[in-house]
């Protein structure tokens, strides 16, 4: 990863949850520390997060993918939405062309936005999924063909050596130029945490709807039978709770906040006894960066094979500190949530 002070970068951020925005912010900080200039392009919740974290940044609008995970079958999910996804790829390609007519960027960094590439300019794909788990060799071949045809370089937010945090997903075979740039996290471990920031369980939510809401509802219902002090961070920068604190039947409390900034999130996760979250790669990088001591319950988004794979890998390597729990096993998940 070579730096060039004064170079103008545009980071195009995928809008499936907040994880892509989180790691793109960390990358932007790394580039700016080296003297480079960074602007953003995104939409939806990711755009709101970028505005909250960088209120003075220049952020260009892009079309939304509006991808949801209704089914627990990845092939069904993508198959149903493929025409819309392809249409969005075309739309964002045109949107980027218009941005480039107005702005003189020297490099495009696409965080998993497949239409954000252009000719006669350096185009980098930021991804940990060089080899997604499609279940179809033909789909994998088409995926690699499209990326290598349109992007000149691939940045993987992972360590260069084995074993990697992203496992087989980031194997470089089949790609011409792959740089392992190290994990990306915007969180820094706090030096000290006050007692008001210690919780028996912190639920950190993100990801596409409606599965994000389904998991929030499951957690909220389960916690109402507990007696501890609990916090739910919804991962919804656009949301406001009418009742932000709810008392449980056994004298506990459930606090709900829509969004927390980097400093707050680091404090909540560091002070938690237990954490429940999706097994999205950006969340895992945050947990690794903080070296949290909490017991972690990973709940993959149903139908998202990447998260299912990562949850199993991290659970197997953790000596029982990390548990992988499917969202569909409601009784098991509820017992893990309220276990003291």
Contact 63, 93 (CB under 8 A): no
DSSP annotation of 18: S
DSSP 3-state of 315: helix
**Residues 27, 29, 30, 31, Cα dihedral to 10°:** 90
Which residue is it, tokens 């691939």?
154
List the domains of the chain with CATH numbers: 8-180 (3.40.50.2000), 195-338 (3.40.50.2000)
DSSP 136-203: -HHHHHHHHHHHHHH-SEEEESS-SSSSPTTGGGG--TT-S-EEE----------S---GGG-BSEEE
Which pLDDT score is estimated for 83? Answer: 80
pTM above 0.85, yes or no: yes
Which pLDDT score is estimated for 170? Answer: 96
CA distance 277 to 328: 15
Distance of CA 123 to the CA centre of its chain: 21
Contact 34, 28 (CB under 8 A): no
Q: Is 215 exposed, middle or buried (0-12, 13-18, 19+ CB in 10 A)?
A: buried
CA distance 131 to 182: 18
CA distance 274 to 199: 8
Q: pLDDT tens digits for the chain (340 residues)?
A: 789 999 999 999 999 889 999 999 999 999 999 999 999 999 999 999 999 999 999 999 999 987 655 555 555 656 666 787 899 999 999 999 999 999 999 999 999 999 999 999 999 999 999 999 877 788 889 999 999 999 999 999 999 988 899 999 999 999 999 999 999 999 999 989 998 899 999 999 998 888 899 999 999 999 998 999 999 999 998 888 888 899 988 889 999 999 999 999 999 999 999 999 999 999 999 999 999 999 999 999 988 889 999 999 999 988 778 999 888 777 778 788 877 6
- Tell me which H or E stretch contains 4: none
249-267 as b/e: b if 16+ CB within 10 A: eeebbbebbebbebeebbb
Give the Å distances, CA to CA, from 47 to 11, 40, 118, 184, 338. Answer: 12, 9, 22, 19, 34
Which pLDDT score is estimated for 73? Answer: 56
CA distance 268 to 276: 12
> Whole-angstrom distance between the N-terminal and C-terminal Cα of the chain?
45
């Amino acid at each position: 990863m070579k730096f060039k002070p004064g170079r103008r970068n545009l980071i195009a951020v995928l809008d499936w949850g907040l994880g892509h925005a989180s790691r793109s912010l960390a990358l932007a900080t790394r580039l700016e520390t080296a003297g480079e200039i960074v602007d953003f392009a995104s939409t939806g919740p990711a755009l709101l997060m970028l505005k909250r974290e960088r209120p003075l940044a220049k952020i260009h609008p892009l079309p939304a993918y509006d991808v949801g995970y209704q089914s627990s079958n990845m092939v069904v999910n993508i198959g149903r939405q493929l025409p819309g996804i392809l249409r969005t790829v075309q739309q964002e390609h045109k949107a980027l062309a218009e941005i480039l007519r107005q702005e003189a960027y020297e490099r495009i960094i696409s965080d998993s936005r497949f239409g954000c590439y252009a000719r006669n300019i350096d185009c980098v794909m930021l991804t940990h999924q060089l080899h997604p788990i499609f279940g179809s060799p033909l789909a994998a071949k088409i995926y690699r063909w499209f990326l290598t045809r349109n992007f000149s370089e691939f940045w993987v937010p992972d360590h260069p050596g084995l074993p990697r945090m992203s496992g087989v997903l980031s194997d470089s075979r089949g790609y011409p130029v792959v740089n392992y740039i190290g994990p990306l996290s915007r969180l820094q471990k706090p030096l000290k945490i006050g007692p008001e920031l210690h919780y028996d369980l912190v639920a950190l939510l993100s990801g596409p709807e409606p599965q994000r809401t389904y998991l929030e509802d499951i957690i909220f219902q389960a916690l109402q039978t507990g007696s501890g002090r609990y916090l739910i961070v919804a991962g919804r920068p656009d949301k406001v709770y009418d009742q932000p604190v709810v008392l449980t039947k056994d004298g506990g409390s459930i606090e709900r906040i829509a969004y927390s900034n980097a400093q707050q999130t680091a404090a909540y996760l560091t002070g938690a006894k237990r954490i429940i979250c999706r097994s999205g790669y950006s969340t895992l990088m945050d947990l690794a960066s903080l070296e949290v001591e909490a017991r972690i319950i990973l709940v993959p988004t149903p139908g998202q094979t990447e998260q299912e794979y990562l949850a199993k890998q991290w659970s197997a390597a953790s000596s029982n500190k990390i548990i992988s729990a499917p969202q569909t096993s409601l009784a098991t998940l509820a017992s893990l949530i309220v276990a003291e």
